[in-house]
Amino acid sequence: MCLLSHGAWQGLGEYHIPAPVADAMADTLAAGQVMDISLAINAPHGGEHIHDPCAGSGGLLRSATQHLRERGHDPADFQWSMVDIDPIAAACCAVNAMAWKLSPRVTVACADTLANPNAVADAMQEARAVFEHRDEVVGKARIIATLRQPEHLMDACPLACSVDPPPF
């Protein structure tokens, strides 16, 4: 985030949450489990979706990940999504998601969530299209490689391997 000037942060409306504040927020959400306070949340369960609509580089998600691990949960059991309007922040979030070993089910979108509340669904659809295209290209490459293999074998065969017609 140091790559952006302070003016660029203000222009994008970016306000980065310090790590201790993010940790305190994650602990506050868990307080209901620890102190028997009735909050509007339940204990996390694998398969649930954890989403940050203005993730920045993922500070709150890092705290949520740490919180889950401290309580014996595997973050890879959850679905994660994060959106940020800043392409650099979204890229940092994607790298951080890999570094934190969140899950193979992570979606990072670069969009304005106020203008496009479906940014995560759009990003997932775009990812599916990319994977389908990749699979199609890989499939065609395998067919081409299979067809070229006999051709390479024939080219490698010396002239002595050629069969002359028998003399009559």
Closest CA to 12 of 116, 108, 123, 87: 87
Q: What is the reported pLDDT for 128? A: 92
What residue segments make up the domains of the chain, in order of their start? 1-116, 118-156
Q: Indicate the pLDDT class of residue 158, thresholds 50, 70 and 90.
A: low
Mean pLDDT score, 128-150: 92
Q: Which CATH architecture has domain 1-116?
A: 3-Layer(aba) Sandwich (3.40)
At 26-78, the pLDDT tens digits run 666 554 444 444 444 556 777 788 888 888 888 888 888 888 888 888 999 99
pLDDT number for residue 154: 76
Residues 6+ apart with CB under 8 A from 61: 50, 52, 55, 80, 82, 93, 96, 97, 100, 102
**Burial, 156: exposed, middle or buried (Cβ in 10 Å; 0-12, 13-18, 19+)?**
exposed
What mean pLDDT do residues 131-137 have? Answer: 95
* CA dist., res. 83 & res. 148, Å (int): 45
Q: What pLDDT was estimated at residue 138?
A: 96
pLDDT of 104 > 70? The answer is yes
Q: In 10 A of CB 2, how many CB atoms? A: 4
pLDDT above 70: residue 129? yes
Which segment, 8-12, 24-28, 145-149, 164-168, is predicted with the most confidence on average? 145-149
Closest CA to 4 of 125, 115, 85, 124: 85
